[in-house]
Amino acid sequence: MRGVFRPSHYTVPMRPALILLAFLAASSSHAQFTLQTSNTTADLRGIHNVGNGVAWASGTNGTVLRTEDGGYVWQSCSMPPDAEKLDFRGIESFNANTAIVMSSGPGDQSRLYRTTDGCHTWKLVFTNPDETGFFDSVHFAPDGKLYVLGDPVKNAFALFLSDDYGDTWFAAGDKGRDAHANEGAFAASNSSFTSYGPFLLFGAGGSEHAHAYWTSTRCSPPPGHPNGPALSDCGVVWNSSEVPVASGTPASGIFSLAAKATTTKSGAPTATVIAVGGVYDHPDLGTQIAAFSVDGGQHWTAAITPPHGYRSAVAYDPATKTWITVGPNGTDISTDDGKNWHALHPDPALHDPPDADRNWNALSLPFVVGPHGRIGRLDERH
Tens digit of pLDDT at every position of the chain (382 positions): 433 444 443 333 333 333 333 334 443 455 577 899 999 999 999 999 999 999 999 999 999 999 999 999 999 999 999 999 999 999 999 999 999 999 999 999 999 999 999 999 999 999 999 999 999 999 999 989 999 999 999 999 999 999 999 999 999 988 999 999 999 999 999 999 999 998 999 999 999 999 999 998 765 555 455 555 454 556 789 999 999 999 999 999 999 999 999 998 888 889 999 999 999 999 999 999 999 999 999 999 999 999 999 999 999 999 999 999 999 999 999 999 999 999 988 776 677 788 889 999 999 999 999 999 999 998 754 3
Q: Measured between alpha carbons, how far is residue 36 from residues 19, 76, 183, 312 in Å?
A: 19, 14, 37, 21
The set of residues, in sequence order, having a beta carbon less than 8 Å from that of 104 and lying 6+ positions away, is: 6, 87, 88, 89, 90, 110, 134, 135, 136, 187
The set of residues, in sequence order, having a beta carbon less than 8 Å from that of 49 and lying 6+ positions away, is: 14, 15, 55, 364, 365, 366, 367
Q: Which amino acid type is present at position 326?
A: V
Which pLDDT does position 351 carry in this prediction?
Answer: 73
Q: Give the residue among 156, 67, 148 at the shortest CA–CA distance from 113.
A: 148
- The strand order across the sheet containing 236-243 reads 193-196, 199-204, 210-217, 236-243
Q: Measured between alpha carbons, how far is residue 357 from residues 280, 308, 353 in Å?
A: 18, 12, 9
Centre a 10 Å sphere on the Cβ of residue 180 and count the other Cβ atoms it contains: 18
Which pLDDT does position 31 carry in this prediction?
Answer: 54
Contact 58, 88 (CB under 8 A): yes
Which pLDDT does position 54 carry in this prediction?
Answer: 98
Collapsing DSSP states into helix, strand and coil, what is residue 381? coil
Contact 281, 218 (CB under 8 A): no
Contact 348, 47 (CB under 8 A): no
Tell me the β-bridge partners of 102. Answer: 90, 112
Annotated domain spans of the chain: 21-378
Q: Give the residue among 260, 280, 281 at the shortest CA–CA distance from 270.
A: 260
Residue range 21-378 in CATH 2.130.10.10: yes
Report which secondary-structure segment, H or E, holds 23: helix 21-25
Report which secondary-structure segment, H or E, holds 292: strand 290-293
CA 10 to chain centre: 11
